[in-house]
Amino acid sequence: MKKSFYFILIVALLQWSCQSKEMKKAKAYMDASMYTEATSLLEIEIQDKPKNAEASYLLGLCSYNLRNFDKTEECFKRAILLESKYKTKIGTFFYDKALELVKNGNLETAERFYKQALVYDIIGKDVFASKLYSYAIAEIDISTKSEPIIKIFNFIKEITTDYNQKIAEITFSKSKTFLDRGFPEDGFKYAEFSIKNDPAHIKDLASLYLEYAQTLSKSAEKYLNAVNYFDRCLELDNSKKEQIGDIYYNISNNYIQSNNISIALFFANKANIVNEKYNKWYVELTNKYQPKQILISKFLHNYVIDARYTKDNGIQISTNDYCLRQPENNTSIRVKASGAVSSLKLHFELRNGWFKPTGVVVINDDTGQILYQVENSIDSFIDTVTISAKNASSITVKPTSSRGDYIYIYPDSEINYYNN
């Protein structure tokens, strides 16, 4: 036993003593993680001794750490061709690094290294897939994003289909967790991924879309997003057509009550498309709330309004009597409709009065919310702006300076509104 130990020790010492200065220095650099310096020395060694398998192997390791993966594979192949003993070592390296790269989120290179490990026949597909699945399950409970986990599951699917049902169950379960916690984007990504693996939860997913869409539809700012979810629900489960038609009908009526006519008509049209029993009702509704448009030129007779700033009420355009009242020397212009203003196209010019204002033109709705604001330091400027008024009862246009600024309103300006 002692003789064997001493023999191995003597061989190792002889090998060390026979190594060139480049090899010894390269290993020292590698121990210090100085891979660029080690690479230069190993390339000199290989040029001098092209059959040095260890130099090729070490150069492969350096290339990996310098993220030159093409060179890594090239050097490892050369090392194995020179000495077959490196096959197991290199195969194990590729296998270990593939798992490491998965954990670091570099799945593209991980898949590349996994395929290299298979070439060297170090591991089986099942073993690798099992390790990936275990890692993904551990990460899914702590990850705040769905995409990295879904990528790992897709990697597993490329290796084997044995985990498809398990993946479908865990991702659908996780989708509900994300939705409950207020992360719909990732929640639905998990759910959609789930049904791609196993269609068992298609109707369950349709119900999730329906529930979430109903929540969104209560917000005037999010109603378009709500419709996307309603549409996806119908794609997954067409049997919900009548139910969604009834929901659209109720939403439309709610928005009519709150005087949001444009949104009400939008949902009324959706109800009409989804459920034919609402056809007659939709026609009656659109006739009642037919959008109307007033060209300001109707009142201006193709002249420009020249208005100065005062603290009094501004110009008021009323759709009741189709008349224009312009208080003397007033720049605050109020556009008012008898129903609900939906939009205003304003083509205006501002000319500075006594000195340049800091905030030039502000347009507010009747709640005081700013719909448009522009700041400009030049002497005058012309602009055309189209504003969604969100069914306000009136809109006011004014400069923010009180030092004699002029606003000119051009005749091609217009008001769109719904008459109650």
User: Is 19-144's fold the same as 198-289's?
Assistant: yes
**pTM to 2 decimals?**
0.63
Q: Are 157 and 164 in contact (CB under 8 A)?
A: yes
Give, in order, the Cα–Cα distances in Å from 394 to each of 28, 343, 367, 398.
79, 10, 9, 13
Map out the domains of the chain as residue ranges: 19-144, 198-289, 293-418
Distance CA 55, CA 42 (A): 6
Cβ-based neighbours of 102, under 8 Å, separated by 6 or more: 110, 132, 135, 152, 155
What pLDDT is recorded for position 329? 37
At the top level of CATH, which class does the domain 198-289 belong to?
A: mainly alpha
Taking the domain 19-144, which CATH number applies? 1.25.40.10
> What pLDDT tens digit does each residue of the chain (420 aa) get?
455 544 444 444 444 445 788 888 999 999 999 999 999 999 999 998 999 999 999 999 999 999 999 999 999 999 999 998 999 899 889 888 888 889 888 888 898 888 888 887 666 788 888 989 999 999 998 888 899 999 999 999 988 999 999 999 999 999 999 998 889 999 999 999 999 988 999 999 999 999 999 998 888 778 888 899 999 999 999 999 999 999 999 999 998 888 788 788 889 999 999 999 999 999 999 888 876 665 554 444 333 333 333 333 333 333 333 333 333 333 444 555 555 667 777 776 665 554 444 445 667 666 767 777 766 555 566 777 777 766 666 666 665 554 455 566 665 667 666 655
Give residue 261's Cα distance to chain centre. Answer: 31
Q: CATH fold of 293-418, please?
A: Jelly Rolls (2.60.120)
